[in-house]
Amino acid sequence: MKKHKKISEYDSENLTFALLEDILKENINMRHLNIICHLPLYMLIQDYSLLNEEESKYAANINTHIDFLIYNRVSKQPVLAIETDSYTFHKSGTSQSERDIKKDRILELYGISLVRLSTIGSNEKKIIGDKLSEVLHLH
């Protein structure tokens, strides 16, 4: 962990960032990718024509962000969004869970793949690697 920079006040996000860096470095087919941390959603989604009023308001909120966006450093196109979710904060029925559903729908509408990682989950490296391989058609 020491060889990776600290990008968040949350250990879970720092661990996810370190994992993402390792995945991209270890796979020669992913060296054209880069990571942005805490990207405001309004910087990614600029055309709100696919969204309803509530979704548009949520997407335009300056506090709404994606924890990590993996993008193609050549084309600047998004490849994969990654969210690190605290189990208690994001559990079903919470207001955060409702926001998560909105964000999931918005990303889906715009064709941006998403992986949600739980802080109580495991096998994250395989999950992310498999999803990146799928999105990049490496299978």
In a domain, 10, yes or no: no
| pLDDT value at residue 24 | 96
Q: Which two tokens stand for residue 34?
A: 């880069």
In a domain, 96, yes or no: yes
| pLDDT value at residue 92 | 67
- Which residue segment(s) compose the domain that 29 sits in? 19-135
> How many domains are contained in the chain?
1
Q: How far is CA 54 from CA 57, 69, 90, 111, 131, in A?
A: 5, 23, 20, 19, 29
In a domain, 95, yes or no: yes
Write out pLDDT tens, residues 16-61: 999 999 999 999 999 999 999 999 999 999 999 999 999 999 999 9
In a domain, 1, yes or no: no
Task: State residue 84 phi and psi, 5-degree precision.
Answer: -105, 110
Write out pLDDT tens, residues 98-126: 899 999 999 999 999 999 998 777 789 99
Write out pLDDT tens, residues 50-101: 999 999 999 999 999 999 999 999 999 999 999 998 765 546 677 888 899 9
Cα distance between residue 70 and residue 19, in whole Å? 12
Which amino acid type is present at position 12?
Answer: S
132 pairs with which residues across the strands?
A: none
In a domain, 120, yes or no: yes
What counts of helices (H) and strands (E) characterise the chain? 6, 4
| pLDDT value at residue 85 | 85
